[in-house]
Chains A and B, each alone.
Chain A
Amino acid sequence: MLIAIVRKELLLVFRDIHALMVLFLLPIVFILIMSLALQDRMGGDSKEHPGIGLWLESETSLDKEMVAIFTRLEGLRVERAASRQQLLRLLDEKRILAAITLPENFTTAIRSPITDDREKLHILYSASLPASMRRSILGAVREALGEYQANRLFEYYNLPDEQRRQRVDHLIGHSLVVTSYHTRNGRAEQPNSVQQSVPAWLIFSMFFVVIPISTTLLTEGQQGTLQRLRTIPVPGSYLLIGKLIPYLGVNVIQAVLMLLVGIHLVPLFSGEGLRLEGEVWLLIPLTLAVSLAAISFALLIAARARSTEQATTLGGIGNLILAAIGGIMVPTFVMPALMQKIAALSPMNWALEGFFAVLLRQGGWEMVWPEIFKLLLFAGSLFLLALHSYKGLTDRKQ
């Protein structure tokens, strides 16, 4: 009996082209777009660094040295402009994020204890540039100036180039700082944007089972199929479990597919690929727990809604809110403290933390089980509520 219900549900979902697009195409597109778009913002070595424009009102040999320092700046691509107009055009065309003008005799002015505004280096930011990027660019420019100044200081010692560079690096801190990433197994590989995008958009798409589940359940109610089913000697719990099992399978297929997209498809679009490291097997119980939470949430919405339109609207908006507060759309680390506390209430956040524990932090069972436990508790509570509301579906039809 249960096999027949499961088979029927699978036939229904795999014949619903819209559901398939929402469940499979939407997350693939999101993963591709967000992995590529954020690869430089969320770690990873992008092949395309954000650009800044540089125009020198005059060019001396010292200016050339300054330019050389600028072009070596970490994480920035420097485009030289031949004129102020060209510099502004680069900014208008969005080829650069900020335009830097080195005034005439800047390299002389830089040595003066006091300079007036006309002698200062000027940074013109793109109006839409976020504060974090402005701070990064300002920091990079100050670092370039510091390096230039340090070079000038060590000129007096007449040191060989190698020694001078070592002292400059030491003075401005380059050689005093070393960075790494905290992972349980101590491997020092930098997490990339795919590592963050794949779980985020996978979780988001898993929760979108609300669309096919509510469509089939409410259509059954509206068409009288549910009435017929309730006059057949089958327990209501079987009918709901019969919906749960196939969507568990759909969610697992989604998970496998999205991981494969992260590993194989994203690199084809010039991004970095997803790396599966650590105790990858933990993704299995985690995925099942996320799936149960998503399906129970969908079943409750479907059982409570009065029409397909209401269910898809409620489900869609519910998913968007859970995703927005849960760190799917905006990473929780950029949220203020209050929002981070609110984020911890979203099941999508528990799911995301679970995936990050495995994929980013290479965590073990002790890091993942609290998230799995919360997800299963959420799933169990909502499933019971859905079961209670399920009978009401036919009663409302009379």
Chain B
Amino acid sequence: MIKLCAIDFNYAKQPLLFNELSLEITKGSLFGLLGPNGAGKTTLMSLMTGLLTPSQGEVAIDGKGYRNHRFDILSGLAHIPQEYAFYPQLSAAENLQFFSSLYPGTMSQRRRRIEHAIELTGLTGHVKRLAKHFSGGLKRRLNLAIGLLNKPELIFLDEPTVGIDPQSRRFILQSIQALNRAGSTIVYTSHYMEEIEQLCNDVAIMDHGRILVHGPLNRILEKRPMVEIDLDPQQQPLAGTPFNQAIEEMGFTLSHHRITGKPRDQKQIAELLTAVSREGIPILNISYGKHTLEKLFFELTNTHLRD
């Protein structure tokens, strides 16, 4: 289990990014970490992998802190950064040999681990080529393969599917699922919501250094059923009208001929539809039910552009 207990962190000469942030990730889960650019995902991951140290609080992996058990924790962990974290001037085999030799083990153990990583990431037939000549997909797979050389129980994946073709993406996602099924705990960040929805059973959305929501994916999405009614945009502007006021009094939002909100119950949806029909405005589309992750994400983090 990963446990972050009331951690504070700030970069030098920067304001506090995390203030008493706490988070628990259960063993064996496939945990998705979402957030817009600058939300603090990579910093959080760096704290969890021991690359950064919190100014207050503690990060514990299976009850062990980095201060006293650093190498012990790192030996069972893999960090697969978003960048291609290998040597492009070396062949895939040379890269795998180099990184595997940094972990303890006999020659034959290392060889088996390399073979396993090659097999799992589908690199067979490419190992002798220089990594700089690889396609984006192959580079991503090599990046992943290097992370598997110590047979990690805990894997941190930072946007591992950026800039690759759908086939490679599918292959990588399947590999990640296979690793999780084999018992590895996986912490996964991505900007692709459908990936997180497809892969993860545990999700957290963060912004401005705070965890906004965290829990099992199904429960998060079910918690917040949403109604959306698209009205005919050809109608006269509705802002400031008594109809608008009535909608807001019911707890919904009317903006650009779209009504959105979280109804108390189904009876309130009926009241809302009655109000719309009384006004005689044609309805183009009605949706109600579970949030999609994307809708929840935008609801929590807003839609304005980030740096």
Contacts and interface: CB of A to CB of B under 8 A. Distances in A.
B98 interface: yes
A225 B75 CA distance: 17
Given A224-B84, A227-B79, A233-B75, A1 B51 contact: no
Contact of A231 (B42, B49, B84): B49
A12 B99 contact: no
A320 B93 CA distance: 39
A230 interface: yes
A5 B97 CA distance: 11
Given A4-B97, A4-B101, A233-B71, A228 B52 contact: no
Contacts of A16: 89
B85 interface: yes
B220 interface: no
Contacts of B146: 228
B57 interface: no
Interface string B44-63: 00100111100000000000
A12 B89 contact: yes
Contacts of A231: 49-51, 74, 77-79, 156
B198 to A, nearest CB: 25
A8 B93 CA distance: 12
A234 B79 CA distance: 14
A135 interface: no
Nearest to A227: B81
Interface string A4-25: 1101100110011000000000
A9 B102 CA distance: 14
A224 B98 contact: no
Given A232-B99, A394-B51, A398-B46, A8 B79 contact: no
A74 interface: no
From B50, B82, B101, B156, name the one whose CB has the most chain A CB atoms within 10 angstroms. Answer: B101
A1 B99 CA distance: 9
A232 B103 contact: yes
Given A231-B77, A232-B99, A233-B71, A225 B46 contact: no
Interface string B1-12: 000000000010
B85 A223 contact: yes
Q: Which of A7, A227, A234 has the most CB of B within 10 A?
A: A227
A8 B74 contact: no
Contact of A233 (B42, B52, B74): B74
B253 to A, nearest CB: 37
Interface of A: 1, 3-5, 7-8, 11-12, 15-16, 222-225, 227-234, 394-395, 398
22 contacts: A3-B101, A4-B97, A4-B98, A5-B102, A12-B90, A15-B89, A223-B85, A224-B81, A225-B87, A227-B46, A227-B79, A228-B146, A231-B74, A231-B77, A231-B156, A232-B99, A232-B150, A234-B102, A395-B11, A395-B51, A395-B52, A398-B52
